[in-house]
Structure 1
Amino acid sequence: MAITRADLVAAFPEFGNETVYPQTQIDFWLQQATKLYSETRLGASYTLAVLLFVAHNIVLSARAANAGVGGAAGLSLAPVTSKSVGGVSKSMDVSLTAYAGAGPYNATPYGQRLYGLLRSMATGPRYSVHPAVLAVRFGRRFV
């Protein structure tokens, strides 16, 4: 089943404005996502992964477009962690909401959710072996 703009807007209504988030851009990122992610590997989470990927990238594109209005389009935008106006200043600890090692996925909340989802899918099966079995196999105690 093909994922569409309607699916994106149903999951994330904030992307309903076609002027800010044009259909052609959504179609482009949907196409990229289907090349990058495997439905077989992600199973029931495939649609969510694709929608998060699209949301992440169209937010980055919208930010770049807005930067182009008052600045230079295409500049990397990092989170602002402190700001001062007159005698008032504000700072934030972005490490509380960022994944270590996630790089550009941390640039949007959708990217962070996608990164968390992908990490959870990459853990693979887990199993444990009783220490007595290890002792017999390797000739020493592991407890």
Structure 2
Amino acid sequence: MDSTTFRRDFPEFSDKTVYPDAQVEFWLTVAVSLVNPCVWGELTDQAMELVTAHHLVLGARDQKASSVGGIPGLVNGPQSSKAVDKVSAGYDTGAVTIDGAGFWNMTTYGIRYITLARIFGAGGIQL
């Protein structure tokens, strides 16, 4: 797995200014320790890519916050409502978050990863 393959599979990360190769490679290296090929089999690379994408999104949020004088690394959960003047919007965050997934619920990539991880962690299923 390398940054070129990752960017091919996840073209939304193709901007090397926002997502430099060094950063992509860093998170791919971390993903190697989080994804057991004996468990993931043929989906090992996809799991590593989801872990990497998750961390890249969190890093981009931190970078954006820092660039406008905010605090990078500040933890925010899924937004459940917002009001501006007389207009408000609410979202059912429970519909898209996974109980007990914590940190992985912070991006769609994390949700995809933890969903698959839990399926693989369930072991064989007989009907």
Q: Which residue of 2 aligns with 1:132?
A: none
What are the ranges of 5 or more consecutive residues in structure 2 without an aligned counterpart? Answer: none
TM-score, normalised by the number of residues in structure 1 = 0.83
**Aligned match of 1:133:** none
Shift of residue 110, structure 1, vs aligned partner: 0.3
Q: Deviations over 1:34-80 (max 9, x none)?
A: 12222122101101100000000000000011111221112112222
Q: Which ranges in structure 1 are unaligned for 5 or more consecutive residues? A: 129-143
| Larger of the two Rg values belongs to structure | 1
Q: Which residue of 24, 45, 56 corresponds with 1:58? A: 56
TM-score by structure 2 length? 0.93
Give me the CA root mean square deviation. 1.2
* In structure 2, distance between residues paired with 1:15 and 1:81: 26
Match of 2:16 in 1: 18
1:105, distance to aligned residue in structure 2 (A): 0.5
Partner in structure 1 of residue 43 of structure 2: 45
Q: Secondary structure at the match of 1:101?
A: coil
SS in structure 2 at match of 1:126: coil
> Residue by residue, what CA displacement relative to the aligned partner does 1:100-122 show, whole Å, maximum 9, x if unpaired?
11101110000000001100100
Distance in 1 separating the partners of 2:7 and 2:40: 21
Residue in 1 aligned with 2:93? 94
2:105 is matched with 106
Q: How far off is 1:127 after superposition?
A: 4.3
**Count of residues paired in the alignment:** 126
What fraction of aligned residue pairs are identical, expressed as a percent?
Answer: 36
SS at match of 1:77: coil
Partner of 1:141 in structure 2?
none
* Match for residue 8 of structure 1 among 3, 6, 9: 6
Letter in 2 for 1:111: G
Residue 122 of structure 1 aligns with which residue? 121
